[in-house]
Amino acid sequence: METAATKAPARGLWSGDEAVAMAALDGEVALGTGYPGTPSTEILEAFSALGGRAQWAPNEKVALEVGLGAAFAGARVLVTMKHVGVNVAADPLFTAAYTGVDGALVLVSADDPGMSSSQNEQDNRRYAVAAGIPMLEPASSQEAYDFTLASLELSARWKIPVILRMTTRVCHSKSVVHRRDHPLPPAPAPSFVRDIRGRVMVPAFARPAHHKLRKKLDEIRAWAETSPLNAVHEGSLALGVVTAGISFQHVREAAPEASIFKLGVVYPLPLEALRRFAAGVERCVVVEEGDPVVADALLAAGIRVEGKPEMFRFGELSVSRVRRILARDESPEPPEPKAKPPELCDACPYHPVYGALQRMGCIVAGDIGCYTLGVMEPYQAMDTCVAMGASVGVGLGLRHVLPEAQARKVVSVIGDSTFIHSGLNGLVEMVYNPPATGHVLLVLDNGTTAMTGQQEHPGTGRTMSHDATGHVSIEGMARAAGVKNVDVVDPVKDPKGFEELLTRRLASNDLSVIVSRRPCILAAADIRAFEKTNAAKAAAASPCAGCGSDDAA
């Protein structure tokens, strides 16, 4: 039988994200779930395009929980998110390390050193250590493919979630990948086997579960000592380099003569193998992007290595920066050449909104999405942007303590996808602890997740593959939560009406939600096409389509 797996070519030039999707397909992953976020978004999109079962969750925590349930039932699961998404999913993650899994669960954490499209450059290798979850890190698309399969194997063997840590350069770079034929044993069919002590984490069961986790990690550490996922490239004895991920590629080019210990397993570290490697070279340097995670661990284990100068904690590494690290060159680096920053599209529906916010001198508690670009010239109409969903809480906090004249100017501004992701929690807080001056929450509903490339979300009523599904109404949620004034307006059709409404709502002491609804100009044509297709499908599926009766069935 021809399946998606047999149709896709055996060899290709793929991005790291596409390679993970291909491995998920070849590794018989039953479910892929996640929340969009650069640079991870393309993994599930590619998996879905290949015929895999993939779906967007409302946020990363829910994605991980859905994945965990499926893995408890014995399925192989892939959960994807960007680095900050792991913060959202951290609560179930730490305890999932205790419960373990039955099938296999691989969590892709796509980190963004250098912040090409992120609000921070946190180093998620710390999560592996903090939660006690094994972590693999690929250095190329081929390794993204191989390590996804290795993660599935590792997860199934030790019944533990595994984190596959990628970075922007590995996710988005394309390089040559060879697929393998039936790389894993066939996936067993899911079935529920009760394990109360193993999965109900009340203290009495969680205590032994923690001991069990540490025992697993000891075993995995022993396995990592000889795992082929860690590789030594022999070279000069004068210089040894310990490295992982994309930094390995830079090192190969910057110091082709060096001996290299390339880590594939970044947690738990193969400390004894590393100790031998370091002892065998005159000088041993750890070259890693981001925080000195490996360097600190080796130094703490009494292994004689050099870390990098502090200035290289910031931003991505490159061949030239690796040369500097090896030469201990701490002289100032040449300034980044000027690049043109992104801006709102000319016909973006957000223009009239930010025009009004600017004219009215609002204090804008902002959020993350295309609409964050309202902070740029000519509007500069955003005062805070911290994390997805934070606009609501931050706006409320400002209102609680500011003098009345200022408090009345505070507006929380959030996108539709972000509102569903974590703005809902803020909405509940708003109703429960309303400021004396009330509050105004402005939801910018452009019918898509524009920032990350137009993904669907529960508010669009379409699945990842754009088929019709349940629709979560933003205004319905606001009304149900108990917000007094809920309005839906089109700021492009009626900019004056929008501004007048906002002025009225700011003057009152009530709670108000204004849904500003107008599709993203780049997504509008697609949205219309999806709606048309889905309406046609619905009509065809209704029993009286065509002949007007259901006798034909």
Ligand X SMILES: Cc1ncc(C[n+]2csc(CCOP(=O)(O)OP(=O)(O)O)c2C)c(N)n1
Question: Which partner, ligand SF4, another protein, ligand X, none, binds residue 260 by CB below 5 to 8 Å per kind?
Answer: none
Q: Does 233 bind another protein (CB under 8 A)?
A: no
Q: Does 341 bind another protein (CB under 8 A)?
A: yes
List interacting residues with ligand SF4 (CB under 6 A). 344-345, 348, 350, 370, 446, 450, 520-522
- Smallest separation, CB 368 to ligand X (Å): 4
The three-state DSSP-derived secondary structure of 173-187 is CEEEEECCCCCCCCC
| Nearer to ligand X among residue 265 and residue 392 (C-beta) | 392
DSSP string, 321-337: HHHHHHHT--SPPPPPP
Per-residue contact string for residues 518-537; x = within reach of another protein by CB under 8 A = ----x---------------
- Smallest separation, CB 355 to ligand SF4 (Å): 14
DSSP string, 193-219: ---HHHH---HHHHHHHHHHHHHHHHH
Structure tokens at 17: 């994200």
- Smallest separation, CB 347 to ligand SF4 (Å): 7
Per-residue contact string for residues 102-121; x = within reach of another protein by CB under 8 A = --------------xxx---
Q: Decide: 281 and 237 in contact? Cβ < 8 Å.
A: yes
**Closest residue to ligand X in the complex (CB):** 415
Q: Which of positions 334-373 make contact with ligand X (CB under 6 A)?
A: 368-371
Q: Which of positions 417-436 make contact with ligand X (CB under 6 A)?
A: 417-418
Structure tokens at 346: 């000319």
DSSP string, 224-290: HHH-TTSEEE--EEEEEEEEETHHHHHHHHH-TTEEEEEESEEES--HHHHHHHHHTSSEEEEE-SS
Q: Which of 218, 219, 253, 550 binds another protein (CB under 8 A)?
A: 253
Q: Which stretch binds another protein (CB under 8 A): 88-96, 231-239, 245-253, 412-420?
A: 245-253
Question: Which partner, ligand X, ligand SF4, another protein, none, binds residue 482 by CB below 5 to 8 Å per kind?
Answer: none
Question: Which partner, another protein, ligand SF4, ligand X, none, binds residue 473 by CB below 5 to 8 Å per kind?
Answer: none
201 Cβ contact partners less than 8 Å away, ≥ 6 residues apart: 95, 98, 99, 209
Question: Which partner, ligand X, ligand SF4, another protein, none, binds residue 318 by CB below 5 to 8 Å per kind?
Answer: another protein
Q: Which of 19, 23, 70, 88 binds ligand X (CB under 6 A)?
A: 88
- Closest alpha carbon to 92 in 118, 120, 72: 72
Cα 14 from Cα 27, distance rounded (Å): 17
Beta-carbon count within 10 A of 333 CB: 14
Q: Decide: 319 and 254 in contact? Cβ < 8 Å.
A: yes
Question: Which partner, ligand SF4, ligand X, another protein, none, binds residue 521 by CB below 5 to 8 Å per kind?
Answer: ligand SF4
Q: Which stretch binds ligand X (CB under 6 A): 99-107, 187-195, 221-229, 442-450?
A: 442-450
Q: Which of positions 295-334 make contact with another protein (CB under 8 A)?
A: 318-320, 334
Q: Does 246 bind another protein (CB under 8 A)?
A: yes
DSSP letter at 384 equals B
Q: Does 381 bind ligand X (CB under 6 A)?
A: no
For residue 157, how many C-alpha atoms fall within 13 Å in the half-sphere facing its CB?
Answer: 14
In the block, tokens 């007007």 appear at 548
- Smallest separation, CB 493 to ligand SF4 (Å): 16
Plot region of 309 (φ>0 → left; ψ -120 to 50 → alpha; else → beta): beta
DSSP letter at 455 equals B
Cα–Cα separations (whole angstroms), residue 420 to 59, 161, 474, 477: 8, 27, 8, 10
Q: Does 38 bind another protein (CB under 8 A)?
A: yes
- H or E segment and range at residue 503: helix 495-507
Cα separation of the two ends of the chain: 29
Q: Which of 152, 184, 278, 370 binds another protein (CB under 8 A)?
A: 370
Q: Does 124 bind ligand X (CB under 6 A)?
A: no
Q: Which of 183, 280, 292, 453 binds another protein (CB under 8 A)?
A: 453
Q: Which of 260, 373, 381, 420 binds another protein (CB under 8 A)?
A: 373
Question: Which partner, ligand SF4, another protein, ligand X, none, binds residue 252 by CB below 5 to 8 Å per kind?
Answer: another protein
Question: Which partner, another protein, ligand SF4, ligand X, none, binds residue 85 by CB below 5 to 8 Å per kind?
Answer: ligand X
Q: Which of positions 128-187 make contact with another protein (CB under 8 A)?
A: 140, 168-169, 172-176
Cα 291 from Cα 322, distance rounded (Å): 15
Residues that bind ligand X (CB under 6 A): 35-37, 60, 82, 84-85, 88, 119, 368-371, 388, 415-418, 446, 448-452
